[in-house]
């Protein structure tokens, strides 16, 4: 049975990132992932921009509308993707729950910049028995799942200390790494602010901060998006060094071995182990996991509670008085 899917928001993550790229090599958007996956069927797209609607219809051969109210068969929709601009997430969510009864809602991050709105979304989905997931797609990548297994199995051992570089905002982009590190090392425990930093686009703070998770300490440092994008994690452990490079496109692990030249010294093995992933198809990874969730199988996704917790922790760091 196909998972009948409505995509609301046909911007970059909804449709734009990969529309002119080779579909055999790149799956970055909801539209492409759902269209190529044998367990999903796109019912329609929604966007107020007529040009985007026309482009969606041209590429995916399904209708696109300016609003949800234009869709006739709302009762048949199993999953709604909320990929509208972040500031409109709550408005979109409110319209969805009033007009549809989906089994799953997949929302882009963050749920909302407003904590109370985010809490409302999570609690409402619980009350309506809707599975709510947030598109922190790195959790679904095979390489990230492998790292979690290596940590759980003691292949990568404590203690853990790391450095995470991010650009283009703490909530917009550092949240991806923050959420992933929570998945690997447990919940946020405490923080030490190093530098308040600036605001990206006058809205999103960019602090330098040392964060204590349950089983690791990681220092987040902000880079300059106007010069180049930069998202990496370097993690040191008693087992060696993990390098999560280029936002997760390349993952290497360097084990420890005896220095061949100096007795009594241990060094990192220059022959790193490449951890296989599937980052060029990151949205396919998410849809594979959603199919598992829909069919009541084990899955690797960020649910509403986990996304809310990430948001609350990040607000505690950047603006604790609002909590």
What is the C-alpha separation between 175 and 166, in angstroms, rounded? Answer: 9
pLDDT at position 73 is 81
63-to-1, 34, 49, 55, 235 alpha-carbon distances in Å: 21, 15, 14, 10, 46
Instruction: Extract the tokens encoding 28.
Output: 């970055």
Closest CA to 170 of 201, 149, 139: 201
Sign of CA dihedral 262, 267, 272, 273: positive
What is the C-alpha separation between 80 and 196, in angstroms, rounded? Answer: 37
β partners of residue 38: none
pLDDT at position 47 is 98
pLDDT at position 322 is 52
Q: Which domains does the chain have, with CATH numbers?
A: 3-138+284-303 (3.40.50.720), 142-277 (3.30.360.10)
pLDDT at position 36 is 97
Mean pLDDT per 10-residue run, the chain (323 residues)? 95 97 97 98 97 98 95 90 96 96 96 94 98 98 97 95 97 95 96 96 94 98 97 98 96 94 93 95 98 96 97 89 51
Angle at CA 142, nearest 5°, toward 138 and 144?
50
pLDDT at position 247 is 95
Identify the residue whose tokens are 């420890």. 256
Provide the CB-side half-sphere exposure for 261 (13 A, CA).
1
β partners of residue 64: 45
Burial (CB count within 10 angstroms: exposed 0-12, middle 13-18, buried 19+), residue 156: buried
């Amino acid at each position: 049975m196909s998972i009948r899917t409505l995509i609301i928001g046909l911007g970059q993550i909804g449709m734009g990132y990969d529309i002119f790229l080779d579909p055999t090599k790149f799956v970055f958007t909801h539209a492409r992932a759902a269209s190529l996956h044998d367990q999903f069927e796109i019912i329609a797209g929604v966007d107020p921009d007529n040009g985007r609607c026309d482009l969606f219809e041209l590429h995916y051969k399904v209708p696109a509308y300016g609003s949800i109210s234009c869709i006739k068969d709302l009762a048949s929709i199993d999953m709604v993707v909320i990929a509208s601009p972040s500031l409109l997430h709550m408005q979109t969510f409110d319209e969805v729950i009033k007009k549809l009864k989906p089994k799953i809602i997949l929302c882009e991050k963050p749920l909302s910049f407003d904590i109370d709105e985010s809490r409302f979304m999570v609690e409402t989905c619980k009350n309506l028995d809707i599975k709510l997931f947030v598109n922190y797609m790195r959790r679904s990548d095979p390489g990230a799942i492998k790292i979690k297994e290596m940590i759980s199995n003691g292949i990568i051992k404590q203690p853990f200390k790391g450095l995470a570089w991010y650009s283009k905002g703490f909530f917009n982009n550092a949240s991806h790494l923050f959420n992933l590190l929570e998945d690997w090392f447990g919940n946020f425990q405490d923080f030490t602010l190093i530098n308040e930093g600036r605001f990206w686009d006058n809205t999103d703070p960019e602090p330098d901060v040392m964060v204590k998770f349950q089983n690791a300490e990681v220092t987040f440092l902000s880079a300059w998006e106007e010069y180049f994008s930069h998202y990496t994690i370097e993690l040191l452990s008693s087992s060696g060094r993990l390098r999560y490079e280029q936002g997760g496109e390349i993952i290497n692990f360097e084990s420890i071995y005896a220095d061949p030249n100096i007795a009594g010294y241990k060094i990192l093995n220059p022959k790193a182990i490449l951890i296989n992933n599937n980052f060029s198809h990151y949205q396919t990874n998410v849809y594979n996991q959603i199919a598992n969730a829909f069919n009541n199988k084990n899955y690797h996704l960020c649910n509403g509670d986990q996304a809310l917790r990430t948001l609350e922790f990040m607000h505690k760091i950047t603006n604790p008085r609002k909590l």
